[in-house]
Structure 1
Amino acid sequence: MTHRMIFNQTSYFGRGAISNLVPELRSRNLNKVLLITDAILLETGVTAKITDLLDEAGFPYEIFSDVRPNPPVENVKAAVEVFKKCGADALIGLGGGSPQDTAKAVGIIAANPEFADVISLEGVADTKNPSVPIIGIPTTAGTASETTINYVITDTDNQRKFVCVDPHDIPVLAIVDPDLTDSMPRGLKAATGLDALTHAIEGYITKGAWELSDSVHMTAIRMAAENLEKSLEGDAEAGEKMAYASYIAGMGYSNVGLGLVHGMAHPLGGRYGAPHGVANGILLAPVMRYNAEYSGEKYRDIADAFGVKGAYDMPLDEARKAACDAVADLTVRVGNPTKVSEVGVDESGLDALADDAFADVCTPGNPREATRDEIREIYASLL
């Protein structure tokens, strides 16, 4: 078997790392950027931390700040039109997953206009040309969109989110500057932190996992286990570690895939507007329990990362239970919902959720092959 790994051309990490933005733009002979972000980041002054650098250097830019959470197809089309008209030759995706995913879709369509309907990008689209250059700058510590070949768009007409997987969309440059993630409110830190943990755990046990991906995923699991709660209390060093854990997990899962947690989380976003990290947090421990007998010895490593004493000495079924319990306990401690009913789901919505999750592109990567009825049962157990 062969394994493919795709990473950014260049990445910067550390406080003050955004100072490298303009020199990198100039070294790549780029002339103007469209900065894609959202209204909250614009209003709170986070966007200004980037535009101030561009202004000081006299580097031309325009801003598209109308990105909506779980960006819909219409949002992408609007941003594509702005990009066409403004004369930019590069994109900056500034924010969490929504602005960065929007930037990826815009960059791909700009270079491959035959996909202008956006919907046709679902799955592994046969794009011919690399995206226009994208610079990914995260302001949350969870999605890792700055280093992945994936992005997620919402088909509002059909109330569903769809995943696009395309090596052509990976940002050429990623800048992970914890100064930009410090200002996240506590709830967002919790949700995005659970998102990063989910990426790491699902990537660790997915069917496509191998030695290199295992090494980065276990690093990210340990970092999240040790730092997520501390980051919620304003510990700056822990917040910095979570920013790196998010990126490290993204390096892995982007290349080996995910599983049923994401397959079930996407419909919660598409049909109920549940924030992605919140949805992952609800589902992570229950799906881990569902997968336990298909995880080999790997839950021992997860239990040990969460500080379970004797994880490598106890019977395997006890170690697996301990790993699941540790993740469930963390979910409660950080204040994430634990029931799908808390994001608006009732009995009447279970069939549609199960149908969507069974068809989701992430679901086949799960270590245990799930049936549609089993997926429905998991949702039902969380009402």
Structure 2
Amino acid sequence: MKRLYLPQEIIYGQDAIKSACDSIVGYGNSFLIITDETMLKLGLVDKLTQTLEGSWTIFSGVTSEPTDAIVNQVLTLMHGQEQPIEALIALGGGSCIDTAKAASVMYRNGYSTIPALASAKEFKVSPLPVIAIPTTAGTGSEATDVTVITDTQQQIKYMMKDKNFLPKVAIIDPLMTQSSPPSITAATGLDALCHAVESYISRKAHALTQELSLSAVKAIMHHIVTAYQDGDHLAAREEMALAALKAGIAFSNASVTLIHGMSRPIGALFHIPHGFSNAILMHEVLAYSKPAIIQQLAELTQAVYPAFTGTDEEKATYFLQQLEDICQILSIPTYSDFGVTKEQFTASLDKMCEDAFASGSPANNPIVPTKDEMKAIYLRSWK
């Protein structure tokens, strides 16, 4: 038997945020808005509060990657409120949404550290409702039961999966993504593409998730370059926002695989944005996995590029080449562009492999590498 878990309500389309007030106030009258300074400066928080009823407090301390320190700041703010917070509204990228997810569960269940949250077998108290409003088209966190938080002491990214992390409402408004600069559009868009491809080839994939994955891959590969080159192209922005949502639902139910498993340690150790670390690894991981996924890659080629003819092997090769071409157009940086030296990278291989395997994601890959094979993939991704 297969199941598909979704937010209780998904509202999407241009100006969706203006019509979402009724859904938001159904969860209370006292809100904590979790966002970042950029969203404040761009006026996107004002756009939300213009339609929001009740009272609210704003936390704008989220940075590019969610950490235990940021989550603790949110918890301190929540515990210090005279009027108890009834729901969390996450407005921003995946970092804001993941921070809200973790805080909502920790606040209601009394956890004070991320390792304690990650090791919990079950949560006795339901979390505070989370309303997710993404401003990037990528993480899909608005529709997943996953949160990823970095433990800054251990330098480990904890990937935590539980139905309690699933937002109650997801509001997908492509107008909210227009302000994303090209680099963010590229990073988040490729994160969504990895979600879509990985969930399609995952050992846990099933018919419903693969329909969503396939649709997302097709939309992203057709529209990501346009969204990157012309941020005001609303049709492309809308396609990307919807594709990120579909990919999020797909991987939340079918899981990601080796790309994400290997990517998280890179982000934790070297602070490389998640979407870029995925993109750097994508080709080498899929090339390694190719013998076991030729049919799936051929199916993706047939869906995205129906005019291309050839054997399944040729279609699989063509798909991987198209991914490389897209990454080149999007000017994907290298490890060294982020200040990482080859010596640092090589010295970290053992820890990266250990943390990747510990995340569980590599086990979903059609081919599960040995530690030596994983090291080799890491080294081949160094350009």
Q: Is the 8 A contact 1:138 1:180 kept in 2?
A: yes
> Which residue matches 1:106?
103
> Which amino acid in the other structure matches residue 278 of structure 2?
N
Distance (Å, rounded) in 1 between the aligned partners of 2:244 and 2:119: 23
Are the structure 2 counterparts of residues 81 and 21 from structure 1 closer, same or farther at C-alpha, using a change threshold of 3 Å? Answer: farther
Q: Given the two structures, how large is their TM-score scaled by the length of structure 1? A: 0.94
Q: Is the 8 A contact 1:125 1:166 kept in 2?
A: no
Shift of 1:296: 4.8
Q: How does 1:83-98 map to 2 (within 5 A)?
A: 83-86=78-81, 87-98=84-95
> Hey, which bits of structure 1, 4+ residues long, moved more than 6 A?
none
Pick from 222, 225, 230 the counterpart of residue 226 of structure 1.
222
Q: Is the 8 A contact 1:80 1:106 kept in 2?
A: yes
Distance (Å, rounded) in 2 between the aligned partners of 1:4 and 1:278: 31
Distance (Å, rounded) in 1 between the aligned partners of 2:26 and 2:103: 23
Are the structure 2 counterparts of residues 80 and 206 from structure 1 closer, same or farther at C-alpha, using a change threshold of 3 Å? Answer: same
Distance (Å, rounded) in 2 between the aligned partners of 1:168 and 1:134: 10
| 1:188 matches 2:184 | yes
What SS is found at the alignment partner of 2:32?
strand
> Which residue matches 1:377?
376
> Which residue matches 2:307?
309
Distance (Å, rounded) in 2 between the aligned partners of 1:90 and 1:98: 18
Q: Given the two structures, how large is their TM-score scaled by the length of structure 2? A: 0.94
Are the structure 2 counterparts of residues 345 and 12 from structure 1 closer, same or farther at C-alpha, using a change threshold of 3 Å? Answer: farther
> Which amino acid in the other structure matches residue 138 of structure 1?
P
Distance (Å, rounded) in 1 between the aligned partners of 2:104 and 2:181: 30
> Which amino acid in the other structure matches residue 223 of structure 2?
N
Are the structure 2 counterparts of residues 81 and 287 from structure 1 closer, same or farther at C-alpha, using a change threshold of 3 Å? Answer: same
Shift of 1:132: 0.7
Distance (Å, rounded) in 2 between the aligned partners of 1:166 and 1:203: 17
> Which amino acid in the other structure matches residue 80 of structure 2?
K
Query: RMSD between aligned alpha carbons?
Result: 1.5
Pick from 142, 146, 153 the counterpart of residue 142 of structure 2.
146
Counting aligned pairs with the same residue, the percent is: 33
| 1:12 matches 2:11 | yes
> Which amino acid in the other structure matches residue 355 of structure 1?
E
Distance (Å, rounded) in 1 between the aligned partners of 2:288 and 2:377: 8
Are the structure 2 counterparts of residues 323 and 124 from structure 1 closer, same or farther at C-alpha, using a change threshold of 3 Å? Answer: farther
> Which residue matches 2:364?
365
Shift of 1:306: 4.0
Q: Structure 1: which 5+ residue stretches go unaligned?
A: none
> Which residue matches 2:40?
42
| 1:211 matches 2:207 | yes
Q: Structure 2: which 5+ residue stretches go unaligned?
A: none
Distance (Å, rounded) in 2 between the aligned partners of 1:112 and 1:97: 23
Distance (Å, rounded) in 1 between the aligned partners of 2:122 and 2:76: 22
| 1:82 matches 2:77 | yes
Distance (Å, rounded) in 2 between the aligned partners of 1:93 and 1:26: 14
Distance (Å, rounded) in 1 between the aligned partners of 2:277 and 2:189: 12
Distance (Å, rounded) in 1 between the aligned partners of 2:322 and 2:306: 8
> Which residue matches 1:72?
67
